[in-house]
């Protein structure tokens, strides 16, 4: 196949509001991904399409992104497992909710401690 060059670029849309806990309803993930494969040379379009098909069948990242998969999440605290599960979307949301709950409780406790110190002063 006559091919002078190939270039693969990726782009995506990431809404960081969920990741930063600004808008809780926005999922912490990429919302869109686009892969562009550009080829140069005298390659006919049918062969370029075959090149793309072959590349996608052997490329690890696109293969991972194009197929649903389970993600195992493990949390170790001082070498001991605290969380060990295979995640689903529901699991991920539950973990996010628990982290948010703990962060909110810690902030409230901190505010109460500062308030108590101010009242004593």
Over residues 59-106, the pLDDT tens digits come to: 887 777 777 677 787 888 899 888 777 767 677 677 778 888 888 888
Q: For residues 80 and 61, what is the distance between their CA atoms, to the nearest angstrom?
A: 31
Count of domains forming the chain? 2
Q: pTM of the prediction?
A: 0.45
User: Do 88 and 50 share a domain, yes or no?
Assistant: no
User: Do 16 and 28 share a domain, yes or no?
Assistant: yes
User: Do 85 and 56 share a domain, yes or no?
Assistant: no
User: Do 11 and 57 share a domain, yes or no?
Assistant: yes
């Amino acid at each position: 196949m006559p091919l002078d060059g190939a270039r693969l670029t990726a782009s995506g849309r990431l809404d960081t509001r969920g990741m930063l806990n600004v808008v809780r309803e926005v999922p912490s993930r990429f919302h869109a991904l686009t892969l562009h494969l550009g080829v140069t040379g005298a390659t006919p379009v049918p062969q370029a399409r075959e090149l793309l098909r072959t590349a996608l069948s052997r490329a690890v990242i696109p293969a991972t992104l194009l197929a649903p998969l389970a993600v195992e999440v493990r949390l170790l605290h001082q070498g001991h497992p605290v969380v060990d599960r295979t995640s689903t979307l529901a699991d991920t949301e539950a973990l996010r909710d628990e982290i948010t709950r703990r962060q909110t409780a810690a902030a409230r406790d901190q505010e109460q401690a500062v308030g108590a110190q101010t009242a004593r002063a």
